[in-house]
Amino acid sequence: MSEGADVVTCRVAERIAWVSFNRPEKRNAMSPQLNRRMMDALEALEFRDDVGVLVLKGEGEAWSAGMDLKEYFRETEAEGLGAIRRSQRESYGWFRRLRWYEKPTIAMVNGWCFGGGFGPLFACDLAIAADEAKFGLSEINWGILPGGGVTKAVVDLLSMRDAMYLALTGTLIDGRTAAAWKLVNESVPLHRLESRVTELARVLLEKNPVTVKTAKDAVRRVKDMTYDNAEDYLVRAQEAANFLDGTEGRKEGVRQFIDEKSYKPGLAAYDPGKRNGEKN
């Protein structure tokens, strides 16, 4: 573990990895140290057999207030262009790693999510917010544009009008509005947030992990493709998944549906722990 490992905390329980921004006194603002530590944490968890879903959460009253203005901006800029580029690589690097993560990911947004916090929010596959959470692009209020991928994130997630509203006004919206605008999947009262995220994680844990990885990558990839390119990509992606899946999940799912009639694909997942009629 790197020095200052406590700025990110991790615990694994029942195949769910709970990874936390842990600078509550700074509203979980992302410092260079936190960004380095977050990459360490993602790497350590990605291929663990006892991890099937990763949840990204914040300690205290915030999810993340974005980049630390003092440490990420002022202090880094004082060290020159090399330091700036290094900090950018470290922050954008773990956002990118999270976007293409091996396991499905859920953002559990309990409180403030500002500015740079939209980077990891967009990187997570799913997002559940507390009704009481606050979202905003505060950059306009201190003289910069929402950079580092943030503008791209809101444009991809929101309508043009809603993206413009956030970017130009710096106004805050709560979790209910974020859900209505589809910035997050849904919002629930704060006291129900962890239980709802756990419930969603358990749904994901029931699925074939190779298929989940293939599907989440496909959703991100095909958005910028033509229909013909997407069609070809999806055919090849399924063929690759068939090769990579040592459990032959596609065949097993079809067998359980046709031969055993033990599940209905529109209502539930096949049992990945069963092969050829017997439990592993």
User: Is the same domain home to 228 and 186?
Assistant: no
User: Is the same domain home to 224 and 201?
Assistant: no
Residue 278: predicted pLDDT: 57
Residue 1: predicted pLDDT: 34
Residue 88: predicted pLDDT: 77
Residue 4: predicted pLDDT: 45
- Ranges of residues in the chain with a pLDDT under 70 are 1-5, 72-75, 275-280
Please state the domain count of the chain: 2
Final residue of a structural domain among 205, 225, 249: 205
User: Is the same domain home to 243 and 112?
Assistant: no
pLDDT in tens, 24-66: 999 999 999 999 999 999 999 999 999 999 999 999 999 999 9
Domain that holds residue 113: 5-205
User: Is the same domain home to 141 and 34?
Assistant: yes
User: Is the same domain home to 177 and 226?
Assistant: no
Q: Give the torsion sign (CA, 249, 254, 256, 257).
A: positive
Query: Between the CA atoms of 174, 180, 185 and 189, what dihedral angle is there, to the nearest 10 degrees?
Result: 40
User: Is the same domain home to 167 and 83?
Assistant: yes
Q: How far is CA 193 from CA 10, 31, 49, 59, 175, in A?
A: 18, 26, 26, 13, 11
Final residue of a structural domain among 181, 205, 229: 205
